[in-house]
Structure 1
Amino acid sequence: MEFNVPSLELPFFANLLLLLVLARFFGEIMERFKQPAMIGEILAGVLLGPTILNFIHRTEELKVISELGVFLLVIIAGLEINLDEIIKSMKGRNIVISVLAFFIPILAGFFVGRHFDLDVMSTIFIGLCVAITALPVSIRILMDLGKLNSPVGQKIISVAIFDDVIALTILGILLDIKDVEQTFFNITNATLLTLLKLSSFLILVIVTYRIIRNVSKEENFIENKLNKIISVLKGKESLFAVFFVFILIFATITESIGLHFIIGAFFASMLISKELVGEKHLNTFHNTTNSMAMGFLAPIFFAGIGLEFQFSSIQNYPLLFAIIIVSFLSKIIGGYVGGRFARLDHKVSLALGFGLNARGIMELVIANIAYKAGIINTEIFSILVIMGLITTLATPFLLKRSFKSIDNKKDHLS
């Protein structure tokens, strides 16, 4: 329900202060209940925005801060990814899990869009949001349950990595063809051109990865070179600047060829691993980035989503319920069927499906990007925000019960 409360015109920094304090306060409450802070941060934006109190609106300055928040969140997601894990997820039976856990949900989301006669771009994008798994959220939930390094936990992570990479690749294509006249011929041509650009960029990433790996065969070579560069540079946080320059180069390349900057930032941050730059340097960069993102920029970004969220814009309640139900069922079924095809037992396959169900950060990031790009309208954006929150809230409970069932079975067998 949207209340007609008069808008207060506060100065920019007063808005920023109010938004940050309330976002962190609600985020802290959520964390105490073992839920991701982003849920509280979004609720802070909903409370302060047009939906309830109407104190703050999304200004251009807040949008710029949100963009920086997106940039850092994507970097953090990339740093969590080990390229060797991607290769592992594409080998043997693991590829079956990864493919089914992504393509069953994307097709299910696509059919929902077609059933409700949505336009092609909105339909494809709903499928994409249904198919994605939020890697950072999955990692956090598994860590809280003490199952991150378990065999099931590692399978969830490797499949989530595959899902995120494929989802961001498809997002790049959607953003590139959004302004094309919606005919089969034009969309096909634009898609092929985008795939060509994307393939060229991926070749650059692979070549860079190979060069780095070859150079780093000499023990600690890159780490030693970084130490020399940092010793020459007198400015504070020089290491942070060096890594950011590397990531910004890739982000600039993707923007220059017409793809979104997060594609370049994501793949560049994936190249930065402890094997290549040393554990100490990686931890320093990760901690600094994490502090900037989670302490300031990310709360403003998620609160900004709350400001954009408009419950009153949702008129099509059957579409809302259909997307929520399909999101749950298709992801759990995709993970379960993939697990069974990979010859995992019933309980493990079910845990896999539950673990992949959280959308959270990545789904909200790409939903926000698509909304700003005009691919989806306010109603679909608000529906996708609700879907992301509900699936993220439900996953820890479902996964905890599933792991308990697996542990009880092990105890019984022993």
Structure 2
Amino acid sequence: MASEQEAWNHKQVRYLGLARMIRSVGTGAIWPFIALYFSLDLRLPLYITGMIFSVYFATGIVSQPVSGLLADFLGRKPTMVVASSLYILVSSALFLADVLHGSAIIISTLFVCFALPSAIEYPAMNAMVSDLSPGTGKSHAFSTFRTIFNAGWIMGPLFGVIFFQLGFSLIFLLNVITSVASLLFILVFIDGSSSFGHLEAIRVGDLHFKLDRLIIIFGSGVFFLAVLAGQFQTSLPLFSAHSILINPALYGYVYAVNGITVVVSQPVINRIMRRFSDMQSMVLGVLFYIIGYWAVAFTATLPQLILDMVIITTGENLTAPAENSIISSYSPREKTGRYMAFKSAMWGMGSMVGPSAGLLFLYGFKYSGPLTWSSIGLFGVAAIVAFLLFASGMKRQVKHIRANLKVHEDF
């Protein structure tokens, strides 16, 4: 009976990955080119583009407290349905605004609204993966979920390469289609009955929950990691176009390599890292990020940039499952959605600061590769320090618990 339940749980994790994969085809077509769209199509200054991304991520941060509560009280599946419905509405509005030649203000505002469904969905999906995975198998479950949905990040950028040259409205239309398909998949295949979280009255006291010092330290590490990781959404494509002189349309191939590397190497990395802790995986992953971005400073061709992306994505493969596993293991089950929302908020804060910081370095250092990417790498160093402080605090906490248990046994 237990094995049947475990098999059913694994199937649901795969279904969650497929639901997100379907929509990732659409979002994967948008993200490699959206910064270039603002800069080249809408002809917005570099600093305005950075501000738009910062406001986008700030919107996600503001939404996180509500999204965590929705996941814990409304339920995982209903929250995902709400998020998918919002994806459809915002994607449709973006498509119409572009087709009707709406102003840059309207289009950028709608893009900022795109942060709402993403912020709502993230804690619910990750909390459900946590619900469906045993205590010792959370990292594997998150890795499986991530490997599946990243297949969409292979197909999406390749569609983006084609549609970017034909017209950006086609990319927005693709996002509408994939959002509808993802919603239908969730409604048909995702079973929310066994996951934690259900519709109930929310008491005033439930709106607040305490975060201890250690998880805040871990969250600060996530913040610095997000500043570092987010550079390939803004600074890297602009640096590639202006300094490496790569055709902007070809940057979609770099994103596709990101998805391919996740799908191909994530299972291999999982097997290699089984003997190591999640925290060791986090630190090693940040080092790969730093090395990958630093290598960009000396890149002159598209093949070299693709190799840099493989290194950067290896860092992503090491950190992404581990950070979710750490939060999932650390949080009380009835508050997993809110803890995931806190981690997502810290990631959002880093993502908000990242574009402005990266573009500021690009502008201030006049696109100097070594100065720009070495400065950005300092955020990775700060992340490692925070993660090591968290690990040290956890060890002291465990020693304290063991000492108390020994005292009770002596009595």
TM-score (norm 2): 0.29
TM-score (norm 1): 0.28
Q: Which structure has the highest helix share of the two?
A: 2
